[in-house]
Chains A and B, each alone.
Chain A
């Protein structure tokens, strides 16, 4: 559940955010949406693939964290054991909301504002213990550096959604996607089949015309495509994590 509230430097002057707790939001996720600008960071540990949004059926880029719902293999001993924390986790508890703002010149206009999810465990409200978390505003009501950095991350995500869509449209129009079908056996003989995941069709990629390859390179998508292909190897690392977890039990 989320409880989004627009940020106000008077009302929320005593609110502090404990960023270390952001990763709690990912404890039970088996996949997480990711944006192109973080692909190279992600590929070091996470398989990056596409799946379809359950609500819209549209393709979306995700990093795999586990093999079944609620299984995050990077979540161990109450902590995220990963070198890089995906932006969708880092951004907690900040979101962007739309509000109608009335302006004498332009009339009513929709404007984006930053909100905080007040149900997030990162939020430390009206706390007098000044060692826990970071404030959003200075005593004068000016945004802290922490808050500004948080806004930068939100902006990166918003821009990322636009770029992602452009990227996916390219993959679709060039017919570069193929279903990823993998049957996995774990050490305890438990078997699973990965369904509903999609990746790059390497044969079709190799058969692209010069002009198409050049266009992908110009837009920076060629790098993303190869990063996705390379990241698939991390499925083995993920299986390894799962096997270790099984053996420890």
Chain B
């Protein structure tokens, strides 16, 4: 039981496998700082040469910046080699009533004055005045204006990973995997085995003692990370950990993805994810430097594949026959637990909900970081870490489910039962129903999200709620409105910052070109 954890075996490449292997190696293998040192923990990654990765995860969170820093990756290299561009949040079009001017933003910059006062209250109070009809996000955040003009979140003078406006990335998942692989092998000392894993051998205590490969025999390890995608080879197949189905809350069960070339190589690159609601789902639109990735996620209970294809073709302005669709089935849910015995699942093997709000990659990052930071010293303490890991991530999955569902319940669309059923309280988790009741009288605040393991901040809930036209009734709860001087100052400050940002920031395309030509400085 006191065997130290010396060897971690990651089964599966893809972004989940390489990010996890990289995080563990970067922290527990001194090779980065001292190439002559012996690794404290040996990380082995086994990748199947025959199973392709799903590879449509193209949106990240700002957390990806710290992940790349942890791994010792240069932002310039990352942007050049992963066909990456900047993402400053999401624009939700046609989610409220489906009309042409129906849209709102969920930007990544917190509302102006968020830490000091409840700006949502003042903004709501202002709505009573006809002259004050600016959207919530435009009133308290300068990022919507930047996005609407296709501007980048920084300039070529800004140091790598620093920003003028908070940002995440859009990237080519396939290229990102290959890039991480190269980095893990060349810089982080990860051992690589290209082989198919066919099963696992058990020890007396029920642990996995080794995984069975087709050509390399049994690969032994102390901890096994299951990054085998939807097949969940170790956690689901070997250990039979049950699946918690969430399709009663989140109805999306199918995705159709296409890649769309730009008219020319200098076309504008959108600086945000565009999410456009459809009759029975929604379409994502992600701008990379070399192409757009567009996909339609829908509920097959509410529409047919044929209609979904047609909607996607209409969106991109092409004929159905001219498009090559990649179809990905989605089973919305997650495993009952993620770390069992000496096996932990990261990525699709742990679960998947739907692409809304790009929660898949961030869960991979959070999992990889927690495994790396809390890597058990020996087998004896592993069960304690496993329990913490399971509690932490069950909480996070629940919170993400609540937040994703929030986008659907505030819609007024009724063009399909997809939308009306989404608003049926029976499909809404009790935890979200409770929050919605509280928020009738005040806006979402940090006090609603007090765990150390929160995923979405209260600000995100504010952007979605007030973006979708929700009204909190402050007249019954006036203490929030006791400092108008402060509020006016914040509104004015936001106006000033918006003007400055628009005057000084280059276009997204411009900055990408300059990064390719010159690169960022490290300071």
Contacts and interface: CB of A to CB of B under 8 A. Distances in A.
Interface in A163-211: 172, 177-179, 196, 198
B115 interface: no
A69 interface: no
Contacts of B156: 52, 55-57
Contacts of A52: 156-157, 521
Interface in B504-523: 514, 517-523
Nearest to B520: A57
Contacts of B521: 52, 57-59, 172
B367 interface: no
Task: Point out which of A52, A53, A196 has the most chain B C-beta atoms below 10 A from its C-beta.
Answer: A52
Nearest to A177: B523
B155 interface: yes
Nearest to B154: A57
A198 B158 CA distance: 13
A55 B506 CA distance: 10
Interface size class of A (residues with CB under 8 A): 10 to 19
Interface string A42-72: 0000000000111111110000000000000
B523 A58 contact: no
Nearest to B519: A57
A53 B157 CA distance: 7
Contact of B523 (A53, A54, A56, A179): A179
Contacts of A57: 155-158, 514, 518-521
B523 A198 contact: yes
Interface in B135-156: 155-156
B157 A196 contact: yes
Contacts of B157: 52-54, 57, 196
Contacts of B155: 54, 57
Contacts of B517: 56
Contacts of A198: 523
A196 B523 CA distance: 10
A52 B523 CA distance: 10
A74 B522 CA distance: 33
Contacts of A53: 157
Contacts of A179: 523
Interface in B107-165: 155-158
Contacts of A54: 155, 157
A52 B522 CA distance: 12
A196 B520 CA distance: 14
A68 to B, nearest CB: 15
A237 B520 CA distance: 33
A198 B521 CA distance: 12
Nearest to B156: A57
A196 B518 CA distance: 18
A36 to B, nearest CB: 20
B330 to A, nearest CB: 41
A58 B521 CA distance: 7
B163 to A, nearest CB: 14
Nearest to A59: B521
Contact of B518 (A56, A172, A177, A178): A56
Task: Point out which of A56, A59, A177, A179 has the most chain B C-beta atoms below 10 A from its C-beta.
Answer: A56
A58 B159 CA distance: 11
A179 B157 CA distance: 13
Interface of A: 52-59, 172, 177-179, 196, 198
7 contacts: A54-B155, A57-B156, A57-B520, A57-B521, A58-B521, A177-B523, A178-B523
Given A57-B519, A57-B520, A179-B523, 5 more contacts: A53-B157, A56-B514, A56-B518, A57-B521, A177-B523
Question: What are the 10 tightest A-B residue pairs by CB atom distance, in nearest-first order?
Answer: A57-B156, A52-B157, A56-B518, A57-B157, A57-B518, A58-B518, A179-B523, A56-B156, A57-B521, A54-B157
